[in-house]
Structures are given as structure tokens and as C-alpha cells.
């Protein structure tokens, strides 16, 4: 794994240099008054059937690490957190983790089977599911492997998104899973459910029935439109707050079972090897975490003066209660303002005005959720868990600001 991480790192440094993900001053003067800009002197473009971002924003893209050797669709692509504001991730920039590519599923032919310990095994079409009562909820989705580079002994020289961009946030709309399980006549005391996708990996996970009957959803829509193919079109299971791998994409089968199936992705993967050689299994909720997205690694401050620190916080265990920010390397911590509404298991935007005196310093953020969980410092986190794990790293992220204004990832 260390080898894998190293290769990712080397690759990513190359990308960072190639795309120049750095703040750039807009070219000045071109349209300053008293001149009238050229785009006011002739009619603009016509209409688009499906809109796209401004062409000047074409550097705002996801970062693709690499696929497994000999494959094109086994890997992950990350959200450019440092380039975004607010809390909703544009669907086209939502992170993706796939295990064997994105299947091309004809929704008219797709079926969902519910069977196992139920009175009535049932098959649903998409047309049928679209007639069910639906709910809409804003939730983050985070890959269990997000922020894994912080397990490395040296800080990755990567942007906020390249390090922490396996988290995104959308408004998800779909059918509460409980409704379909009740129609099938599930014994609510049946303890587990196997969820399986219709991809070439037939990716599968065991899901506790308590979660299935609580807030689990069969998501059909993301940010108002049908799911994007890479996020599970036409149906994905959605488990608010839990590691993203369990929100099985391209869902085709739910089997009610008496015990976990112990699939590959809940045994050999998505278990957390600790320093003592033991492994934690079924570590479902994503821990409380935050990251300052602006300023962050790769950016440069243009001299002393007033800046707005902006970042994201989230917790799989509930709402963010507070985010504290230090601008002096941890000597003092200040409560940042949280942007309303602060929703449970959703990205929460925090902001803090900061007057930089031009001296070198270190910025950090520390999130606390309403269950009382506090995001740990990295050295404490590593001391507790070791550095052999791949998943569930929620250590505090530190950015150094040099006197030159250059912002870099540091362990501090």
C-alpha cells in the first residue's frame, strides 16, 4: 500500500504542475472604464439545451489518480474542493469511486430484486419506483478512503481536493428503503441485508437492517436530475453518513440475510488495520472532519491584509456543532461562523475573516459534532491508530503560510 500511495503522490505532483492549480490574478485592464467591453457591442450566444460551466472555468475539474493496472475503471476521481464554495457539489464534479467501470444501464431494462428472508420476494421496474412516495435530503457522501494520504509519514504536496476530495454533497431524492422492505414483508428483526450493484464487479456490501429501516434511501435523483451514471444511475442505495462504499451504486439486488455475507469489500477492503496488527471491521459512520479549502495547498496569498478563510466540515454522526480555526499554529482557536442551514450528515461551510500580518504561520481547523466528537490532531490520531490503515482518517489538516504567501501542506 505504501508503494501505491507513493505512485499516486508522484503522479499527482506531475498533474499539479501541469494544470497549474494556483490562484491567478485576472488579467487587468482589458475592460476597464471608460471603454465599453466588446461583449456589450454585439448580441450574445443563443440557448443551450443543457448548460455547461463558463469556458474560463475549464480548469475546475476532478483529479483522477490512476486506475488499477490494465483497467480503466477501477479507481477514484476527486472533487476539486479548493475551487468550490457553498456546500452543494455540482453533479459533474461529485467524486467517483468505481471498482470495475461505469456500466451503461438501460433504465427500461434495469430491475431491482428484493428477496431472502421476506414473505414476498419482489421485482421492481424503474417506472414502478418512480410512483412511490419520495423524500429529498441534503447529505454528504464520503469514500472511506478519503484523506488516506495523511497516514503517510510526509505531508502530500497536493491540493485540498486531491487530498480530501473523496467527499461531496448533494440533494438526494428517492424512495425510503423501508417502504419497499415493508411491501416485501420483511421481518423487521431480520438483522442484515446484502446490497449488490449491477456493475461488472457486482460490488456488494452487507447492510445492518437497523440502518435500512431508519434513513436508508433508494436514490433516483441527485441535485434535481436523475443520478449521474458514475454515481449509480438509475438507482443507488444511499446510507446517510456512512462510508460511501456501502451506498451501493447501480443497485439491482437486496437480499435479507441472517448474518453479514463477508464480501470482499467488507473484509479484505474497508477494514482498518491498526498499528498492533488487529483490524477494525464494520466501521460505518464517517468521523467528524473539517478542512480549510481557502487558502489551501498550492495557493498563494498576495501580501499582508484581510482574507476570508473558508472551509468545509462534516460528520457522519450528526450535525456540526462548531468549527474552531487557528491562524497561529494552534496557540489560539477562534469559532468560525457556520453557514445556515447546518444540516445533519451534510457538508457545512465555515468562514472566518483573517487579517494576515505577513509573517509565516500555520492554519488549522477543528470540527466538533453534536454527538460531542472532536476532530483529532494528526499526531494523536496516528499514535492511536498507527499508519498502516487506508480508511477512516479524520485527522486535522494543517496548511503553512510562508512569508512569501505560498500555502503548503504541513504536519504541524
Question: Where on the chain is the footprint of other proteins (CB under 8 A)?
Answer: 1-2, 68-71, 74, 99-100, 113-115, 120-125, 128-129, 131-133, 176, 179-180, 182-184, 194, 196, 200-204, 208, 210, 252-253, 255, 257, 259-264, 267-268, 271, 273, 275-285, 287, 388
* Alpha-carbon span 206 to 221, nearest angstrom: 23
**Phi, psi dihedrals of residue 78, rounded to the nearest 5°:** -110, 150
Per-residue 3-state assignment (H helix, E strand, C coil) for 35-84: CCCHHHCCCCCCCCCCCCCCHHHCCCCCEECCCCCCCCCCEEEECCHHHC
Q: Is the distance from CB of 198 to CB of 249 less than 8 angstroms?
A: no
**Smallest separation, CB 175 to other proteins (Å):** 9
**Smallest separation, CB 141 to other proteins (Å):** 19
Query: Residue 47: CB partners within 8 Å, gap ≥ 6?
Result: none
Q: Which residues pair with 291 in a beta bridge?
A: 312
**Smallest separation, CB 115 to other proteins (Å):** 5
**Identity of the residue, 185 or 330, whose beta carbon is nearer to other proteins in the bound complex:** 185
**Identity of the residue, 174 or 298, whose beta carbon is nearer to other proteins in the bound complex:** 174
**Identity of the residue, 73 or 329, whose beta carbon is nearer to other proteins in the bound complex:** 73
**Identity of the residue, 275 or 305, whose beta carbon is nearer to other proteins in the bound complex:** 275
Cβ count within 10 A of residue 178: 17
**Phi, psi dihedrals of residue 348, rounded to the nearest 5°:** -120, 130
Q: Which residues pair with 334 in a beta bridge?
A: 325
85 three-state secondary structure: coil
Torsion, CA 369, CA 373, CA 379, CA 382, rounded to 10: -120
**Smallest separation, CB 400 to other proteins (Å):** 27
Q: Which residues pair with 335 in a beta bridge?
A: 324
**Smallest separation, CB 221 to other proteins (Å):** 18
Q: Do the bridges between strand 236-238 and strand 407-410 make them parallel or antiparallel, or are there none, so unpaired?
A: unpaired
Q: Is the distance from CB of 84 to CB of 157 less than 8 angstroms?
A: no
**Smallest separation, CB 7 to other proteins (Å):** 12
**Smallest separation, CB 329 to other proteins (Å):** 27
Query: Residue 242: CB partners within 8 Å, gap ≥ 6?
Result: 211, 284, 285, 286, 316
**Smallest separation, CB 358 to other proteins (Å):** 41
- Candidates 140, 136, 141, 165; CA nearest to 225 is 136
**Identity of the residue, 30 or 69, whose beta carbon is nearer to other proteins in the bound complex:** 69
**Identity of the residue, 281 or 304, whose beta carbon is nearer to other proteins in the bound complex:** 281
**Smallest separation, CB 399 to other proteins (Å):** 26
**Identity of the residue, 46 or 133, whose beta carbon is nearer to other proteins in the bound complex:** 133
**Identity of the residue, 219 or 254, whose beta carbon is nearer to other proteins in the bound complex:** 254
* Alpha-carbon span 372 to 288, nearest angstrom: 10
Q: Is the distance from CB of 398 to CB of 409 less than 8 angstroms?
A: yes
**Identity of the residue, 67 or 339, whose beta carbon is nearer to other proteins in the bound complex:** 67
**Identity of the residue, 82 or 199, whose beta carbon is nearer to other proteins in the bound complex:** 199
**Smallest separation, CB 375 to other proteins (Å):** 13
* Alpha-carbon span 289 to 241, nearest angstrom: 12
Q: Is the distance from CB of 259 to CB of 271 less than 8 angstroms?
A: no
Query: Three cell numbers at 200?
Result: 461488472
Amino acid at each position: 500500500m505504501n508503494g501505491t500511495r507513493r505512485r499516486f503522490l508522484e503522479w499527482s505532483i506531475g498533474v499539479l504542475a501541469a494544470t497549474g492549480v494556483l490562484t491567478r490574478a485576472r488579467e487587468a485592464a482589458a475592460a476597464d472604464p471608460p471603454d465599453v467591453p466588446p461583449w456589450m457591442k454585439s448580441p450574445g450566444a443563443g440557448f443551450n439545451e443543457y448548460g455547461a460551466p463558463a469556458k474560463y472555468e475549464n480548469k475546475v475539474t476532478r483529479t483522477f489518480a490512476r486506475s488499477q493496472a490494465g483497467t480503466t475503471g477501477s479507481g477514484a476521481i476527486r472533487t476539486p474542493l479548493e475551487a468550490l464554495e457553498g456546500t452543494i457539489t455540482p453533479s459533474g464534479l461529485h467524486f467517483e469511486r468505481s471498482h470495475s467501470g461505469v456500466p451503461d444501464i438501460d433504465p427500461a431494462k434495469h430491475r431491482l430484486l428484493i428477496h431472502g428472508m421476506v414473505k414476498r420476494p419482489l421485482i421492481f421496474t424503474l417506472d414502478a419506483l418512480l410512483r412511490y412516495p419520495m423524500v429529498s435530503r441534503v447529505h454528504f457522501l464520503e469514500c472511506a478512503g478519503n484523506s488516506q494520504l495523511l497516514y503517510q509519514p510526509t505531508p502530500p504536496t497536493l491540493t485540498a481536493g486531491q487530498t480530501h476530495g473523496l467527499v461531496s454533497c448533494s440533494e438526494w431524492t428517492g424512495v425510503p428503503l423501508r417502504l419497499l422492505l415493508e411491501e416485501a414483508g420483511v421481518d423487521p428483526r431480520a438483522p442484515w441485508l446484502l446490497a449488490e450493484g449491477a456493475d461488472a464487479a457486482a460490488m456488494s456490501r452487507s447492510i445492518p437492517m437497523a440502518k435500512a429501516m431508519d434513513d436508508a434511501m433508494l436514490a433516483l435523483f441527485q441535485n434535481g436530475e436523475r443520478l449521474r451514471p458514475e454515481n449509480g444511475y438509475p438507482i443507488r442505495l444511499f446510507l446517510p453518513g456512512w462510508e460511501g462504499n456501502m451506498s451501493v451504486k447501480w443497485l439491482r439486488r437486496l437480499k435479507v440475510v441472517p448474518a453479514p455475507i463477508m464480501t470482499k469489500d467488507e473484509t479484505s477492503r474497508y477494514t482498518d488495520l491498526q498499528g498492533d496488527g488487529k483490524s477494525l471491521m464494520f466501521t460505518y459512520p464517517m468521523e467528524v472532519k473539517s478542512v480549510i479549502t481557502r487558502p489551501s495547498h498550492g495557493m498563494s496569498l498576495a501580501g499582508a491584509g484581510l482574507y476570508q478563510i473558508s472551509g468545509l466540515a462534516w460528520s457522519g454522526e450528526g450535525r456540526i456543532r462548531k468549527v474552531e480555526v487557528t491562524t497561529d499554529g494552534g496557540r489560539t482557536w477562534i469559532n468560525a461562523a457556520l453557514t445556515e442551514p447546518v444540516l445533519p450528515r451534510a457538508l457545512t461551510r465555515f468562514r472566518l475573516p483573517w487579517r494576515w500580518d505577513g509573517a509565516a504561520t500555520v492554519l488549522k481547523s477543528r470540527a466538533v459534532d453534536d454527538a460531542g466528537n472532536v476532530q483529532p490532531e494528526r499526531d494523536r490520531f496516528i499514535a492511536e491508530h498507527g499508519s498502516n490503515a487506508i480508511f477512516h482518517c479524520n485527522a486535522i489538516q494543517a496548511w503553512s503560510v510562508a512569508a512569501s504567501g505560498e500555502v503548503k501542506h504541513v504536519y504541524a
